Structure 1
Amino acid sequence: MPQPRARTAGDIPTPPKAMTLAERRKQITRDRLGTSAASDYMKAPGRKPTGKPVRPNGHEATRGPAAQSPSAVRPGVAAAPENPTWVSSWATASPGLLSIGGHVKLPKRGSTYSGMWFYVLDEAGNFVIQQEIKKSTGDPVGDTSPTGVWCYDWWSSNSYPTDECFWWASNALGGPLQDGKKYYAWIFLNSSDGSSSPQGTTSPLVEAF
Protein backbone atom coordinates (compact mmCIF):
# COMPACT_ATOMS: atom_id res chain seq x y z
CA MET A 1 0.00 0.00 0.00
CA PRO A 2 1.53 3.32 -1.05
CA GLN A 3 2.47 5.69 1.73
CA PRO A 4 0.58 9.03 1.80
CA ARG A 5 2.64 11.93 0.54
CA ALA A 6 3.91 14.20 3.24
CA ARG A 7 2.43 17.68 3.17
CA THR A 8 4.73 20.54 2.39
CA ALA A 9 4.43 24.30 2.86
CA GLY A 10 3.18 24.55 -0.72
CA ASP A 11 0.06 22.53 0.20
CA ILE A 12 -1.10 25.05 2.80
CA PRO A 13 -3.59 27.55 1.33
CA THR A 14 -2.60 31.20 1.42
CA PRO A 15 -4.67 33.03 4.03
CA PRO A 16 -6.75 35.98 2.81
CA LYS A 17 -5.04 39.34 2.95
CA ALA A 18 -6.05 41.27 6.04
CA MET A 19 -7.82 44.61 5.57
CA THR A 20 -5.98 47.74 6.48
CA LEU A 21 -7.61 50.05 9.01
CA ALA A 22 -8.40 52.56 6.24
CA GLU A 23 -10.06 49.84 4.12
CA ARG A 24 -12.15 48.65 7.07
CA ARG A 25 -13.33 52.17 7.86
CA LYS A 26 -14.32 52.68 4.22
CA GLN A 27 -16.30 49.42 4.27
CA ILE A 28 -18.12 50.43 7.45
CA THR A 29 -19.10 53.86 6.13
CA ARG A 30 -20.27 52.31 2.83
CA ASP A 31 -22.46 49.84 4.72
CA ARG A 32 -23.85 52.59 6.92
CA LEU A 33 -24.79 54.71 3.91
CA GLY A 34 -26.69 51.79 2.47
CA THR A 35 -29.02 51.85 5.49
CA SER A 36 -29.16 55.62 6.03
CA ALA A 37 -31.96 57.90 4.89
CA ALA A 38 -29.51 60.12 3.00
CA SER A 39 -28.70 57.41 0.44
CA ASP A 40 -32.29 57.22 -0.84
CA TYR A 41 -32.22 60.90 -1.79
CA MET A 42 -28.62 61.03 -3.01
CA LYS A 43 -29.39 58.41 -5.66
CA ALA A 44 -32.40 60.22 -7.17
CA PRO A 45 -31.10 63.35 -8.96
CA GLY A 46 -33.49 65.42 -11.05
CA ARG A 47 -36.64 64.44 -9.17
CA LYS A 48 -38.81 67.56 -9.44
CA PRO A 49 -41.71 68.67 -7.22
CA THR A 50 -45.01 66.95 -7.93
CA GLY A 51 -47.15 69.53 -6.13
CA LYS A 52 -47.25 73.23 -5.38
CA PRO A 53 -44.73 74.74 -2.94
CA VAL A 54 -46.18 75.68 0.41
CA ARG A 55 -46.60 79.37 1.14
CA PRO A 56 -44.24 79.95 4.09
CA ASN A 57 -46.24 80.39 7.26
CA GLY A 58 -43.57 79.68 9.84
CA HIS A 59 -43.54 81.48 13.15
CA GLU A 60 -41.11 81.71 16.05
CA ALA A 61 -37.95 80.85 14.12
CA THR A 62 -34.95 81.46 16.36
CA ARG A 63 -32.04 81.12 13.90
CA GLY A 64 -31.05 82.32 10.44
CA PRO A 65 -32.93 84.32 7.81
CA ALA A 66 -36.34 82.86 8.67
CA ALA A 67 -36.05 84.70 12.00
CA GLN A 68 -35.58 88.02 10.14
CA SER A 69 -37.75 90.07 7.82
CA PRO A 70 -38.24 88.09 4.57
CA SER A 71 -36.78 90.97 2.53
CA ALA A 72 -33.91 91.76 4.89
CA VAL A 73 -30.44 92.13 3.37
CA ARG A 74 -27.44 92.76 5.60
CA PRO A 75 -25.92 96.26 5.41
CA GLY A 76 -23.06 96.51 2.93
CA VAL A 77 -24.16 93.48 0.90
CA ALA A 78 -24.67 94.49 -2.72
CA ALA A 79 -26.70 91.47 -3.78
CA ALA A 80 -27.90 88.44 -1.86
CA PRO A 81 -27.86 85.02 -3.57
CA GLU A 82 -30.97 84.08 -5.52
CA ASN A 83 -33.64 81.82 -4.10
CA PRO A 84 -33.40 78.12 -5.00
CA THR A 85 -35.20 77.40 -8.29
CA TRP A 86 -37.32 74.66 -6.72
CA VAL A 87 -37.34 72.23 -3.79
CA SER A 88 -38.93 68.79 -4.11
CA SER A 89 -40.05 66.42 -1.38
CA TRP A 90 -41.08 62.80 -0.89
CA ALA A 91 -41.02 60.14 1.82
CA THR A 92 -39.15 56.85 1.82
CA ALA A 93 -39.66 53.67 3.80
CA SER A 94 -36.62 52.99 5.98
CA PRO A 95 -36.44 50.24 8.64
CA GLY A 96 -37.37 51.76 12.00
CA LEU A 97 -37.27 55.34 10.71
CA LEU A 98 -39.59 58.10 9.57
CA SER A 99 -37.83 59.62 6.56
CA ILE A 100 -38.57 62.59 4.33
CA GLY A 101 -36.33 64.43 1.90
CA GLY A 102 -35.96 65.66 -1.64
CA HIS A 103 -33.88 67.75 -4.00
CA VAL A 104 -32.91 71.40 -4.37
CA LYS A 105 -32.42 72.93 -7.83
CA LEU A 106 -29.88 75.77 -7.75
CA PRO A 107 -29.66 78.89 -9.95
CA LYS A 108 -25.90 78.26 -10.29
CA ARG A 109 -23.54 75.37 -9.59
CA GLY A 110 -23.25 74.28 -5.97
CA SER A 111 -19.67 75.47 -5.43
CA THR A 112 -20.97 79.05 -5.85
CA TYR A 113 -22.56 78.92 -2.40
CA SER A 114 -20.94 78.73 1.02
CA GLY A 115 -23.85 76.75 2.40
CA MET A 116 -27.51 77.27 3.22
CA TRP A 117 -30.11 77.50 5.94
CA PHE A 118 -32.28 74.41 6.12
CA TYR A 119 -35.66 74.44 7.84
CA VAL A 120 -38.35 71.79 8.15
CA LEU A 121 -41.79 72.92 9.31
CA ASP A 122 -45.01 71.09 10.00
CA GLU A 123 -48.26 71.94 8.26
CA ALA A 124 -49.20 74.38 11.04
CA GLY A 125 -45.97 76.36 10.60
CA ASN A 126 -44.07 75.06 13.62
CA PHE A 127 -40.30 74.80 13.09
CA VAL A 128 -39.12 71.22 13.55
CA ILE A 129 -35.56 71.69 12.20
CA GLN A 130 -33.46 74.88 12.06
CA GLN A 131 -30.00 74.03 10.75
CA GLU A 132 -27.18 75.99 9.15
CA ILE A 133 -25.41 73.90 6.50
CA LYS A 134 -21.76 74.62 5.71
CA LYS A 135 -20.24 73.69 2.35
CA SER A 136 -18.27 70.47 2.57
CA THR A 137 -15.58 69.33 0.16
CA GLY A 138 -15.71 65.73 1.30
CA ASP A 139 -17.52 62.70 -0.08
CA PRO A 140 -20.98 62.18 1.53
CA VAL A 141 -20.55 58.39 1.57
CA GLY A 142 -20.94 57.27 5.15
CA ASP A 143 -22.82 60.35 6.35
CA THR A 144 -25.40 59.05 8.80
CA SER A 145 -26.57 62.39 10.21
CA PRO A 146 -30.34 62.37 10.83
CA THR A 147 -30.77 65.69 8.97
CA GLY A 148 -28.79 67.56 6.35
CA VAL A 149 -28.31 68.98 2.87
CA TRP A 150 -25.50 68.09 0.46
CA CYS A 151 -24.73 69.55 -2.97
CA TYR A 152 -23.31 67.26 -5.64
CA ASP A 153 -20.85 69.94 -6.73
CA TRP A 154 -19.27 70.04 -3.27
CA TRP A 155 -17.24 66.90 -3.90
CA SER A 156 -15.33 65.76 -6.95
CA SER A 157 -15.32 62.50 -8.91
CA ASN A 158 -19.06 62.11 -9.34
CA SER A 159 -21.34 62.35 -12.36
CA TYR A 160 -24.32 63.95 -10.64
CA PRO A 161 -25.71 67.38 -11.70
CA THR A 162 -23.58 70.29 -10.45
CA ASP A 163 -26.64 72.49 -9.88
CA GLU A 164 -28.53 70.17 -7.52
CA CYS A 165 -28.44 69.25 -3.85
CA PHE A 166 -30.36 66.68 -1.82
CA TRP A 167 -31.90 67.11 1.62
CA TRP A 168 -33.14 64.62 4.18
CA ALA A 169 -34.61 64.38 7.67
CA SER A 170 -35.25 61.19 9.62
CA ASN A 171 -35.78 59.90 13.12
CA ALA A 172 -37.15 56.92 15.00
CA LEU A 173 -40.67 56.98 16.40
CA GLY A 174 -40.91 59.50 19.21
CA GLY A 175 -38.55 61.98 17.51
CA PRO A 176 -39.24 65.42 16.00
CA LEU A 177 -40.95 63.99 12.88
CA GLN A 178 -44.22 62.29 13.75
CA ASP A 179 -45.90 59.45 11.90
CA GLY A 180 -48.74 60.64 9.65
CA LYS A 181 -48.00 64.37 9.97
CA LYS A 182 -47.19 66.55 6.96
CA TYR A 183 -44.07 68.68 6.64
CA TYR A 184 -42.26 70.91 4.17
CA ALA A 185 -38.70 72.13 3.68
CA TRP A 186 -37.77 75.83 3.46
CA ILE A 187 -34.27 76.52 2.12
CA PHE A 188 -32.19 79.71 1.84
CA LEU A 189 -28.85 79.80 -0.01
CA ASN A 190 -25.83 81.48 1.62
CA SER A 191 -22.92 83.44 0.12
CA SER A 192 -19.46 83.83 1.62
CA ASP A 193 -20.21 87.53 2.30
CA GLY A 194 -22.79 86.51 4.89
CA SER A 195 -25.92 87.18 2.85
CA SER A 196 -28.79 84.74 2.30
CA SER A 197 -31.56 84.32 -0.26
CA PRO A 198 -34.24 87.00 0.20
CA GLN A 199 -37.27 84.72 0.63
CA GLY A 200 -35.97 81.18 0.30
CA THR A 201 -37.90 78.41 -1.47
CA THR A 202 -40.29 75.85 -0.03
CA SER A 203 -41.19 72.32 -1.05
CA PRO A 204 -44.66 70.80 -1.37
CA LEU A 205 -46.06 69.10 1.73
CA VAL A 206 -44.94 65.53 2.36
CA GLU A 207 -46.35 63.05 4.86
CA ALA A 208 -43.88 61.26 7.11
CA PHE A 209 -44.34 57.51 7.50
Structure 2
Amino acid sequence: MVTLEPCNHHGRTPPCRQALLDAGIARVLIALIDPTSREEGGAARLAAAGVDVEIGLLADSARTVLRPWLHSLDTGRPYVTWLYEVDAEGRALTASETMRTLYRTTTDVVLDEAGHLSEGVSAGHGKDAFAIPAMTVDEPAQLLAALHEGGTRSLLLATSPRTAQRFLEAGLIDATTFHVPHPARPTTNTGEAALVYDAFVIDRVERHGDHLRCDTTVLLPRIGDQT
Protein backbone atom coordinates (compact mmCIF):
# COMPACT_ATOMS: atom_id res chain seq x y z
CA MET A 1 0.00 0.00 0.00
CA VAL A 2 1.42 3.38 -1.05
CA THR A 3 -0.09 6.85 -0.68
CA LEU A 4 1.23 8.07 -4.04
CA GLU A 5 1.77 6.33 -7.35
CA PRO A 6 5.32 4.90 -7.58
CA CYS A 7 7.42 7.16 -9.78
CA ASN A 8 8.42 6.07 -13.27
CA HIS A 9 11.45 8.26 -13.88
CA HIS A 10 15.07 8.43 -12.80
CA GLY A 11 15.72 11.57 -10.77
CA ARG A 12 17.84 11.80 -7.63
CA THR A 13 16.98 8.12 -7.13
CA PRO A 14 16.03 5.28 -9.50
CA PRO A 15 12.32 4.77 -10.35
CA CYS A 16 10.26 3.47 -7.45
CA ARG A 17 8.24 1.22 -9.74
CA GLN A 18 11.47 -0.58 -10.72
CA ALA A 19 12.31 -1.18 -7.06
CA LEU A 20 8.91 -2.83 -6.62
CA LEU A 21 9.43 -5.00 -9.69
CA ASP A 22 12.93 -5.99 -8.57
CA ALA A 23 11.50 -6.99 -5.18
CA GLY A 24 8.99 -9.28 -6.83
CA ILE A 25 5.93 -7.45 -5.47
CA ALA A 26 2.79 -9.03 -6.96
CA ARG A 27 0.14 -6.52 -5.84
CA VAL A 28 0.29 -2.78 -5.27
CA LEU A 29 -2.46 -0.64 -3.72
CA ILE A 30 -2.16 3.03 -4.70
CA ALA A 31 -4.17 5.73 -2.96
CA LEU A 32 -3.53 8.58 -5.43
CA ILE A 33 -2.13 8.88 -8.94
CA ASP A 34 0.88 11.22 -9.00
CA PRO A 35 -0.19 14.46 -10.77
CA THR A 36 3.45 14.98 -11.78
CA SER A 37 3.83 11.54 -13.40
CA ARG A 38 6.08 11.49 -16.44
CA GLU A 39 5.34 9.47 -19.56
CA GLU A 40 2.71 6.79 -18.87
CA GLY A 41 3.23 6.70 -15.09
CA GLY A 42 4.39 4.07 -12.63
CA ALA A 43 0.97 2.45 -12.22
CA ALA A 44 0.71 1.72 -15.93
CA ARG A 45 4.23 0.30 -16.05
CA LEU A 46 3.56 -1.94 -13.07
CA ALA A 47 0.33 -3.23 -14.62
CA ALA A 48 2.10 -3.83 -17.93
CA ALA A 49 4.67 -5.94 -16.06
CA GLY A 50 1.92 -8.15 -14.64
CA VAL A 51 1.55 -6.56 -11.20
CA ASP A 52 -1.99 -6.42 -9.80
CA VAL A 53 -2.59 -2.66 -9.35
CA GLU A 54 -5.53 -1.15 -7.46
CA ILE A 55 -6.01 2.64 -7.39
CA GLY A 56 -8.09 4.79 -5.02
CA LEU A 57 -7.92 2.90 -1.72
CA LEU A 58 -7.97 5.40 1.21
CA ALA A 59 -7.65 8.26 -1.28
CA ASP A 60 -9.17 10.86 1.08
CA SER A 61 -6.76 9.93 3.86
CA ALA A 62 -3.84 10.17 1.44
CA ARG A 63 -4.97 13.64 0.36
CA THR A 64 -4.88 14.70 4.00
CA VAL A 65 -1.33 13.38 4.44
CA LEU A 66 -0.15 14.92 1.16
CA ARG A 67 -2.15 18.14 1.53
CA PRO A 68 0.83 20.56 1.63
CA TRP A 69 2.46 19.02 -1.44
CA LEU A 70 -0.77 18.83 -3.44
CA HIS A 71 -1.66 22.37 -2.39
CA SER A 72 1.69 23.70 -3.59
CA LEU A 73 1.14 22.10 -6.99
CA ASP A 74 -2.26 23.77 -7.31
CA THR A 75 -1.32 27.23 -6.04
CA GLY A 76 2.33 27.69 -6.94
CA ARG A 77 3.24 28.53 -3.34
CA PRO A 78 3.99 26.65 -0.11
CA TYR A 79 1.24 25.45 2.22
CA VAL A 80 1.42 27.91 5.15
CA THR A 81 0.68 26.96 8.76
CA TRP A 82 0.69 29.73 11.36
CA LEU A 83 2.17 28.54 14.66
CA TYR A 84 1.40 30.60 17.76
CA GLU A 85 0.58 30.50 21.45
CA VAL A 86 -2.31 31.99 23.39
CA ASP A 87 -2.19 33.51 26.87
CA ALA A 88 -4.76 33.15 29.65
CA GLU A 89 -6.64 36.20 28.36
CA GLY A 90 -7.07 34.71 24.90
CA ARG A 91 -4.45 36.87 23.18
CA ALA A 92 -2.32 35.44 20.37
CA LEU A 93 1.43 35.45 21.09
CA THR A 94 4.54 34.64 19.07
CA ALA A 95 5.45 30.95 19.27
CA SER A 96 8.31 30.25 21.66
CA GLU A 97 11.55 28.64 20.55
CA THR A 98 10.47 25.48 22.37
CA MET A 99 7.25 25.37 20.37
CA ARG A 100 9.06 26.10 17.08
CA THR A 101 11.48 23.26 17.79
CA LEU A 102 8.59 20.91 18.59
CA TYR A 103 6.99 21.43 15.17
CA ARG A 104 10.09 22.10 13.08
CA THR A 105 10.23 18.60 11.61
CA THR A 106 6.67 18.84 10.27
CA THR A 107 7.58 21.37 7.60
CA ASP A 108 10.17 22.30 4.98
CA VAL A 109 10.98 25.83 6.17
CA VAL A 110 10.35 27.86 9.34
CA LEU A 111 9.95 31.64 9.30
CA ASP A 112 10.56 33.03 12.81
CA GLU A 113 9.61 36.27 14.54
CA ALA A 114 12.82 37.99 13.44
CA GLY A 115 12.08 37.27 9.78
CA HIS A 116 14.74 34.55 9.59
CA LEU A 117 14.17 31.49 7.43
CA SER A 118 15.54 28.12 8.46
CA GLU A 119 15.22 24.62 7.07
CA GLY A 120 12.70 22.45 8.88
CA VAL A 121 13.76 19.04 7.58
CA SER A 122 16.30 17.77 5.09
CA ALA A 123 15.31 17.75 1.43
CA GLY A 124 13.54 14.48 0.73
CA HIS A 125 13.16 12.09 -2.16
CA GLY A 126 12.87 13.83 -5.51
CA LYS A 127 13.27 17.29 -4.02
CA ASP A 128 16.16 19.71 -4.42
CA ALA A 129 17.28 21.87 -1.51
CA PHE A 130 15.45 25.18 -1.47
CA ALA A 131 17.08 28.56 -2.04
CA ILE A 132 16.48 31.21 0.65
CA PRO A 133 15.39 34.44 -1.08
CA ALA A 134 16.58 37.85 0.07
CA MET A 135 13.09 39.15 0.83
CA THR A 136 11.26 40.43 3.87
CA VAL A 137 7.96 39.45 5.42
CA ASP A 138 6.56 42.75 4.11
CA GLU A 139 6.28 40.97 0.76
CA PRO A 140 4.48 37.74 1.72
CA ALA A 141 3.24 36.79 -1.74
CA GLN A 142 6.63 37.36 -3.37
CA LEU A 143 8.37 35.57 -0.52
CA LEU A 144 6.17 32.49 -0.90
CA ALA A 145 6.55 32.47 -4.68
CA ALA A 146 10.34 32.59 -4.38
CA LEU A 147 10.38 29.82 -1.77
CA HIS A 148 8.18 27.66 -3.99
CA GLU A 149 10.50 28.25 -6.92
CA GLY A 150 13.37 27.06 -4.72
CA GLY A 151 11.58 23.82 -3.82
CA THR A 152 9.73 24.66 -0.59
CA ARG A 153 6.34 23.02 -0.35
CA SER A 154 5.38 23.84 3.26
CA LEU A 155 6.15 26.80 5.52
CA LEU A 156 5.73 27.11 9.28
CA LEU A 157 4.95 30.74 10.08
CA ALA A 158 6.24 31.38 13.61
CA THR A 159 6.17 35.17 13.49
CA SER A 160 4.41 37.75 15.65
CA PRO A 161 0.63 38.04 15.27
CA ARG A 162 1.15 41.44 13.64
CA THR A 163 3.33 39.93 10.92
CA ALA A 164 1.04 36.93 10.51
CA GLN A 165 -1.81 39.36 9.94
CA ARG A 166 -0.17 40.42 6.67
CA PHE A 167 -0.36 36.85 5.46
CA LEU A 168 -3.94 36.48 6.69
CA GLU A 169 -5.09 39.65 4.95
CA ALA A 170 -3.51 38.42 1.70
CA GLY A 171 -5.25 35.03 2.00
CA LEU A 172 -1.90 33.27 2.34
CA ILE A 173 -2.42 31.22 5.51
CA ASP A 174 -3.95 27.78 5.06
CA ALA A 175 -3.92 26.32 8.57
CA THR A 176 -2.93 27.10 12.14
CA THR A 177 -1.61 25.21 15.12
CA PHE A 178 -1.72 26.95 18.48
CA HIS A 179 -1.30 26.13 22.15
CA VAL A 180 -3.66 27.55 24.76
CA PRO A 181 -3.52 27.14 28.57
CA HIS A 182 -5.97 24.63 30.00
CA PRO A 183 -8.53 25.61 31.12
CA ALA A 184 -8.89 28.63 28.82
CA ARG A 185 -11.49 31.29 28.17
CA PRO A 186 -12.43 30.90 24.49
CA THR A 187 -12.79 34.18 22.61
CA THR A 188 -13.51 34.91 18.98
CA ASN A 189 -12.74 38.19 17.25
CA THR A 190 -11.02 39.59 14.20
CA GLY A 191 -8.44 41.78 15.91
CA GLU A 192 -4.80 41.05 16.65
CA ALA A 193 -5.62 39.66 20.10
CA ALA A 194 -7.63 36.53 19.33
CA LEU A 195 -7.81 32.92 20.38
CA VAL A 196 -9.76 31.81 17.30
CA TYR A 197 -10.22 34.14 14.33
CA ASP A 198 -13.55 34.21 12.52
CA ALA A 199 -12.08 32.53 9.43
CA PHE A 200 -10.71 29.54 11.39
CA VAL A 201 -12.47 26.17 11.44
CA ILE A 202 -11.28 23.98 14.32
CA ASP A 203 -10.26 20.53 13.06
CA ARG A 204 -8.76 19.00 16.20
CA VAL A 205 -8.25 19.77 19.89
CA GLU A 206 -5.95 17.66 22.06
CA ARG A 207 -4.81 18.08 25.64
CA HIS A 208 -1.05 18.02 26.26
CA GLY A 209 -0.19 18.50 29.93
CA ASP A 210 -1.16 22.02 31.01
CA HIS A 211 -2.21 23.21 27.57
CA LEU A 212 -4.45 22.37 24.63
CA ARG A 213 -3.20 21.94 21.09
CA CYS A 214 -5.68 23.26 18.53
CA ASP A 215 -5.43 22.70 14.77
CA THR A 216 -7.55 24.76 12.41
CA THR A 217 -8.16 25.21 8.71
CA VAL A 218 -8.29 28.81 7.51
CA LEU A 219 -11.18 29.67 5.21
CA LEU A 220 -10.12 32.92 3.55
CA PRO A 221 -10.50 34.10 -0.04
CA ARG A 222 -7.31 33.21 -1.91
CA ILE A 223 -5.54 35.57 -4.25
CA GLY A 224 -6.93 34.91 -7.70
CA ASP A 225 -10.21 33.44 -6.49
CA GLN A 226 -13.26 34.45 -8.49
CA THR A 227 -15.89 36.47 -6.63
Range of TM-score over shorter length: under 0.3
More contact order relative to length (CA 8 Å, sep ≥ 6): 1
Q: Which has the larger radius of gyration?
A: 1
